[in-house]
Amino acid sequence: DTEVTQTPKHLVMGMTNKKSLKCEQHMGHRAMYWYKQKAKKPPELMFVYSYEKLSINESVPSRFSPECPNSSLLNLHLHALQPEDSALYLCASSQEFGLNNEQFFGPGTRLTVL
Amino acid sequence: AQKVTQAQTEISVVEKEDVTLDCVYETRDTTYYLFWYKQPPSGELVFLIRRNSFDEQNEISGRYSWNFQKSTSSFNFTHTASQVVDSAVYFCALILYSSASKIIFGSGTRLSIRP
């Protein structure tokens, strides 16, 4: 299984809602990543988990809260988002920690904040 | 400062034409990695190639080839006999060995192949 899955595919939420994005991989990869991608822009790294521990937080606002319950699963909890947070959220994984490794990406969750 | 420039925002060619996507990077570091990723309409980024700064050998994989030239700080990507399935946004990216926690993407080139 060489796939990274993400659910849901689409999410619409209000600014007062709480929701979660889910990412799963079964390749035995030890590093997992969250990226945010605005339309017509490259992805921006948000968080990196290595061996289930948060290794990198790229100064992301606290309304985004990552969680890595086990080595296969990565969540992104959303609370009190702003309309400018509307974007494609991509999850990725790699064999080992380090952006110089090949990353496998999921198809993303397209988030709209009203 | 580190930077990746993909000057071609959009390219449109007819099927079977050859097309080259340009990538120019800036860094003072001597050890670094360069990547190309493809992002089809389905959304996921697909890894295409990684090169480290000490490996200037050009690479060919089927209809794809990559030309890495340190003298001009470029890492260009050529599709030969392009196909409609090649239509996607292509990103070039730079990672420094000294800071493997930072990835610098170019702005991407949208490639459209017309039948």
Give the separation between CA A96 and CA A32, rounded to whole angstroms. Answer: 9
Q: Give which of B31, B36, B45 to mutate to test A binding, by max A Cβ within 10 Å.
A: B45
**Per residue in A73-84, pLDDT tens?**
999 999 999 999
Chain B residues with a Cβ under 8 Å from any Cβ in chain A:
33, 42-47, 50, 91, 93, 95, 97, 100-103, 105-108
**Per residue in A17-56, pLDDT tens?**
999 999 999 999 999 999 999 999 999 999 999 999 999 8
Cβ distance B109 to B20 under 8 Å?
no
A4 contacts in chain B (CB < 8 Å): 44
Q: What is the DSSP string of A60-105?
A: --TTEEEEEEETTEEEEEEES--GGG-EEEEEEEESSSSTTS--EE
